[in-house]
């Protein structure tokens, strides 16, 4: 599970959002990596190169808009995500075809 890096003192002031901002204060305990303070992002938290950019299921996420794109997928490495522009009737046909080909659909 990914670590959530939150802004320093975001809970203290309502106007501050949770989104990460680097602490820049001279005496900031967080900037100085003091024990008991929230962690700051560092290169050591990065994922291994093999799984970077993959869906949590381990498949490569591929956006599919039509049957040709669906048939071109590799069922062992890639999973389909049907585009939102595809209508219900065409989506149902694509789901049936994906089931036949053994392709995982991420948004059935």
* pLDDT tens by residue, 30-71: 999 999 999 999 999 999 999 999 999 999 999 999 999 999
Reading phi first (left if > 0) and then psi (alpha if -120 to 50, else beta), residue 9 is in left
Q: Where in 4-98 does DSSP place strands (E)?
A: 60-64, 78-82
Please list, in sequence order, all residues whose beta carbon lies within 8 angstroms of the beta carbon of residue 33, skipping any fewer than 6 positions away: 40
Q: Which two tokens stand for residue 56?
A: 């949590």
Which pLDDT score, from 0 to 100, does residue 65 have? 98
Local confidence band at 1 (pLDDT 50, 70, 90 cut-offs): confident
7, 18 in Cβ contact below 8 A? Answer: yes
Percent of the chain scoring above 90 in pLDDT:
96
Q: What is the pLDDT of residue 2?
A: 79
Are 35 and 22 spatial neighbours (Cβ–Cβ below 8 Å)?
no
What pLDDT band is residue 3 in, cutting at 50, 70 and 90?
confident
User: Mean pLDDT for the chain?
Assistant: 96
Half-sphere exposure of 48 (CA within 13 A, CB side): 3
């Amino acid at each position: 599970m990914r670590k959530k890096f939150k802004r320093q003192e975001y809970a203290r002031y309502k106007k501050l959002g949770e989104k990460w901002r680097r602490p820049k204060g001279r005496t900031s305990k967080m900037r100085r990596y003091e024990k008991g303070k929230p962690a700051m992002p560092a290169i050591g938290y990065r994922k291994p190169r093999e799984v970077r950019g993959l869906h949590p299921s381990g498949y490569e996420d591929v956006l599919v808009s039509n049957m040709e794109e669906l048939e071109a997928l590799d069922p062992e490495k890639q999973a389909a995500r049907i585009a939102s522009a595809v209508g219900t009737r065409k989506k149902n046909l694509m789901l049936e075809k994906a089931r036949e080909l053994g392709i995982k659909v991420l948004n059935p």
